[in-house]
Chain A
């Protein structure tokens, strides 16, 4: 009897694991089955290299959009990478503990703020500012364009780069730092020439992740880039990205136009795949810190420097004062400037929204029923909870079971495991707008669900599945084998061990993954406007349309009739993100306490 249940559950876990492969395959199929014939009909060269995009005249050249995406992403990287790496260095190595307690939640907040808020802030503050700057400097430009979009996107990817780089730098053993210090280098030189190069692969991984985020960003870019479907002339010209092209036209496109947009999504998908490949290449090259292969390119430099220093130290006064030199002073200033700019940006943005929004937080804004006068956000708030619950209901069992299969049941180096991992990485990189059109074509139209909570929930479930899978897997791996062995030793079967011993021990890690997923759902806009629709009521059934808070804000800013309430809604959204972050850090604390 026990054997039968064991076998059955193993198959169930396996099936759950296969769901992620099925989803990734479905999306690929959808993109290429609809997109490739369109590309063939338009003629691949004309599609990819054509500079004329005018659907009404059957002209479908996406070269301006490809160039737009490339410029904006490159710009974002130029803005975000130096700032992010320097800020990460500060946070990891120079930040006093008390300041860190303030800065860390601030970075988390920045990471969690929905892109619709960044976009709105960009439109009302950054664009007029840039326009004035351009006027003052004698440039032409309305303020919307490559430069503005790059700055906004650079700020948006900062938290990603900072987070990953910081953990990479922290993972470098202290001995690297101390060794350099012992050889006579200053603190700053030690960090920049000994610690940072050792963290290179992690930092690079963070940059590549940031690049992926920048390429896939939709809502913020569509508000500040200008969206002209032409090749840009200068850095102040307006530009349209691939993502903006899809979101602006998908709603009303039909026939070849719609297929051309799906083909655009396919091109975007290929970009993301390339970035993912780059990411795995970078990760593999770097080797593991404190593990097997250690690359020590700095060894030569330090010994050179050591050679240079020793005679002077030995000759003159042997001072143990660390040498102050230009580089160290500049580096010290640079990291502080970087974190200062980051903090300033967060402060400005959140502060501006609070100042403009808090005065309009009236009780009518929280009325149970929405009407066009009070534009109450209460139904949207409740819908956000419902949408989160629905997506988690689907994603958590699937993700947890998949992770259980990968960790507990699958043999090492199993081909299926590799495929599942690849599928998960693919799913993780797909931009939300692509999920949106996929969900629309599959759930809303093909399955006939129309705009509904269910369509939105299913789409978001696929979107957050990789997050749950990854964090659960890590949580399960970190459960010591002794737990399992002890359970087996007492006579329990595998199934009982998993459910009674391993999973409960991994709960804090799983919880942190769930909270990450919740953050993603709360901030999502592009995927939901095409699947769950924009109805501002609490749904009677899952088949009713339902707008979440982020979509509500998008709608309000789009109608333009209630600007004050838009700000107030933004305040509530930010408060929600803060709450989720606070919960997440408490769960994380529980995790470390349990160890």
Chain B
């Protein structure tokens, strides 16, 4: 009996100590959700909205607030936003579905058409990464992606194709191709692989999903033949021998929970949210 009493007393004390941080405000705090450091979507987002600061060496670094939740894939981001009415996040336009609401930025609604004609400026390239000479099989696949047939697949899936008139000649080389990289590009790459396999049934392509920076690593150290990234290469990466070819363009949308009344935000507001200057929903709605 004594033990139970002392145990429950200890527990109560612990809870009391822990609760020191609790008693909050009536206004809802914005739950800021971001992707992991190596995500191409995050790099592109940070660059496009100017969420950066200079660190002690004068290098500009990601200034996303420390208290932002980190989710390491697109699906997790969407599920988190769908489940939390006070959250805000960003994802690839091609992954957007009906479970969350996309905000228009400075009055421009994010659609494929808006990205194509340039009115929606929050967009970034989808690139394939290579290093040195490609194997015949990999080169053939790369040619397919940049051909009219390949770009038709891009357009069909809600991404913005590149201008090209080249037809796919098709050497139909055999050989294994390993592809690794961005979880934003992966769904598109899957469709491209399927279309390619229809034309070249002997193709052996192994896609692997991780993120853009992993793609650069893998391409540079030879773990994969082709990398896929959703951001541009940095100088250090170019110096290591990586080369990029843009295969499509994609918009980044800022998403909120469907229960929110907010439908539009300005660039400055998004920047302020992610750098910690705006912390409550009452400042926006």
Binding site for B on A (CB under 8 A): 54-57, 78, 123-124, 127-128, 131, 138-140, 142-144, 222-223, 226-230, 233-238, 240, 247-249, 251-254, 327, 371-372, 444-445, 450-451, 533-535, 537, 540, 544-545, 555-561, 563
Q: How far is the CA of A253 from the CA of B212 in the complex (A)?
A: 11
Residues of A within 8 A of B75 (CB): 556-561, 563
Contact, CB under 8 Å: A228 / B68:
yes
Q: How far is the CA of A227 from the CA of B183 in the complex (A)?
A: 19
Give the contacting residue for B223; candidates A124, A131, A450; CB below 8 A: A450
Query: Can you offer 10 A-B residue contacts whose CB atoms are under 8 A?
Result: A127-B80, A229-B66, A253-B38, A372-B190, A544-B176, A557-B75, A560-B74, A560-B77, A560-B79, A563-B79
Residues of A within 8 A of B164 (CB): none
Contact, CB under 8 Å: A254 / B80:
no
Q: Is residue B171 contacting chain A, with contact meaning CB distance below 8 A?
A: no
Residues of A within 8 A of B15 (CB): 235
Contact, CB under 8 Å: A142 / B86:
yes
Give the contacting residue for B83; candidates A55, A131, A555, A560; CB below 8 A: A131
Q: Is residue B167 contacting chain A, with contact meaning CB distance below 8 A?
A: no
Contact, CB under 8 Å: B23 / A127:
no
Max count, chain A CB within 10 A of own CB: residue among B36, B70, B204: B70
Residues of B within 8 A of A78 (CB): 11, 14
Residues of B within 8 A of A234 (CB): 18-22
Q: Is residue B213 contacting chain A, with contact meaning CB distance below 8 A?
A: yes
Given A139-B23, A545-B206: 7 more A-B contacts, CB < 8 Å: A128-B84, A228-B67, A228-B69, A234-B19, A372-B191, A544-B206, A559-B187
Give the contacting residue for B55; candidates A57, A128, A223, A237; CB below 8 A: A57
If A123-B79, A535-B206, A560-B77 touch, whether A252 touches B70 (CB-CB below 8 Å) is: no
Contact, CB under 8 Å: B213 / A252:
yes
Interface string of B66-96 (1 = CB under 8 A from A): 1111111111111110011111000000010
Contact, CB under 8 Å: A238 / B183:
no
Contact, CB under 8 Å: B214 / A251:
yes
Give the contacting residue for B67; candidates A57, A230, A558; CB below 8 A: A230
| Majority DSSP secondary structure for residues of B touching A | mixed
Residue of B nearest to A557 (CB): B75
Residues of B within 8 A of A540 (CB): 204
Chain B residues 158-215 with CB under 8 Å of chain A are 176, 178, 183, 186-187, 190-191, 194, 204, 206-214
Contact, CB under 8 Å: A327 / B1:
yes
Residues of A within 8 A of B263 (CB): none
Residues of A within 8 A of B97 (CB): 560-561
Residues of A within 8 A of B194 (CB): 371-372
Residues of A within 8 A of B20 (CB): 234
Contact, CB under 8 Å: A230 / B84:
no
Contact, CB under 8 Å: B21 / A451:
no
Q: How far is the CA of A371 from the CA of B192 in the complex (A)?
A: 11
Q: How far is the CB of A356 from chain B (nearest CB, A)?
A: 13
Q: Is residue B132 contacting chain A, with contact meaning CB distance below 8 A?
A: no
Q: How far is the CA of A142 from the CA of B18 in the complex (A)?
A: 17
Residues of B within 8 A of A533 (CB): 206, 208
Q: Is residue B25 contacting chain A, with contact meaning CB distance below 8 A?
A: yes
Contact, CB under 8 Å: B38 / A251:
yes
Q: How far is the CA of A512 from the CA of B76 in the complex (A)?
A: 36
Q: How far is the CA of A237 from the CA of B15 in the complex (A)?
A: 14
Contact, CB under 8 Å: B208 / A561:
no
Q: How far is the CB of A241 from chain B (nearest CB, A)?
A: 12
Q: How far is the CA of A133 from the CA of B59 in the complex (A)?
A: 42
Contact, CB under 8 Å: A128 / B83:
yes
Chain B residues 238-275 with CB under 8 Å of chain A are none
Q: How far is the CB of B186 from chain A (nearest CB, A)?
A: 7
Contact, CB under 8 Å: B73 / A559:
yes
- Ranked 6 nearest A-B pairs via Cβ: A234-B21, A560-B75, A252-B38, A252-B213, A558-B73, A140-B24
Q: How far is the CA of A140 from the CA of B20 in the complex (A)?
A: 12
Give the contacting residue for B95; candidates A247, A535, A544, A561; CB below 8 A: A561
Residues of A within 8 A of B73 (CB): 557-560
Residues of B within 8 A of A545 (CB): 178, 206, 208
Residues of B within 8 A of A228 (CB): 66-70
Max count, chain A CB within 10 A of own CB: residue among B19, B84, B206: B206
Residues of A within 8 A of B223 (CB): 444-445, 450-451
Residue of A nearest to B18 (CB): A235
Residue of A nearest to B62 (CB): A56
Contact, CB under 8 Å: A124 / B37:
no
Q: How far is the CA of A227 from the CA of B39 in the complex (A)?
A: 15
Contact, CB under 8 Å: B84 / A143:
yes
Contact, CB under 8 Å: B208 / A230:
no
Q: Is residue B135 contacting chain A, with contact meaning CB distance below 8 A?
A: no
Q: How far is the CA of A230 from the CA of B213 in the complex (A)?
A: 23
Q: How far is the CB of B173 from chain A (nearest CB, A)?
A: 17
Q: Is residue B61 contacting chain A, with contact meaning CB distance below 8 A?
A: yes
Max count, chain B CB within 10 A of own CB: residue among A128, A248, A451: A248
If A124-B83, A559-B183 touch, whether A445 touches B70 (CB-CB below 8 Å) is: no
Give the contacting residue for B187; candidates A131, A143, A451, A561; CB below 8 A: A561
Contact, CB under 8 Å: A139 / B24:
yes
Contact, CB under 8 Å: A54 / B206:
no
Contact, CB under 8 Å: A55 / B208:
no
Residues of B within 8 A of A235 (CB): 15, 18-19, 21-22
Residue of A nearest to B178 (CB): A450
Contact, CB under 8 Å: A236 / B21:
yes
Chain B residues 200-237 with CB under 8 Å of chain A are 204, 206-214, 216-217, 221, 223-224
Q: How far is the CB of B67 from chain A (nearest CB, A)?
A: 6
Residues of B within 8 A of A371 (CB): 194
Q: How far is the CA of A128 from the CA of B15 in the complex (A)?
A: 22
Residue of B nearest to A225 (CB): B69
Q: How far is the CB of B224 from chain A (nearest CB, A)?
A: 8
Q: How far is the CA of A247 from the CA of B191 in the complex (A)?
A: 27
Residue of A nearest to B223 (CB): A450
Residues of A within 8 A of B11 (CB): 78
Q: How far is the CB of A522 from chain B (nearest CB, A)?
A: 21
Residues of B within 8 A of A227 (CB): 69-72
Q: Is residue B31 contacting chain A, with contact meaning CB distance below 8 A?
A: yes
Max count, chain B CB within 10 A of own CB: residue among A143, A235, A253, A560: A560
Residues of A within 8 A of B191 (CB): 372
Contact, CB under 8 Å: B221 / A445:
yes
Residues of B within 8 A of A144 (CB): 69, 80
Q: How far is the CB of A50 from chain B (nearest CB, A)?
A: 14
Contact, CB under 8 Å: A252 / B211:
yes
Residues of B within 8 A of A253 (CB): 38
Contact, CB under 8 Å: A57 / B22:
no
Contact, CB under 8 Å: B36 / A248:
yes
Q: How far is the CA of A372 from the CA of B71 in the complex (A)?
A: 23
Q: How far is the CA of A140 from the CA of B70 in the complex (A)?
A: 18
Q: How far is the CB of B152 from chain A (nearest CB, A)?
A: 16
Q: How far is the CA of A540 from the CA of B205 in the complex (A)?
A: 12
Residues of B within 8 A of A450 (CB): 178, 223-224
Contact, CB under 8 Å: A451 / B204:
no
Give the contacting residue for A557; candidates B36, B79, B186, B208; CB below 8 A: B79
Q: How far is the CB of A79 from chain B (nearest CB, A)?
A: 11
Give the contacting residue for A252; candidates B61, B62, B214; CB below 8 A: B214
Residues of A within 8 A of B211 (CB): 251-252
Q: How far is the CB of A386 from chain B (nearest CB, A)?
A: 16
Residues of A within 8 A of B178 (CB): 450-451, 545
Residues of A within 8 A of B70 (CB): 226-229, 240, 248
Q: How far is the CA of A371 from the CA of B191 in the complex (A)?
A: 8
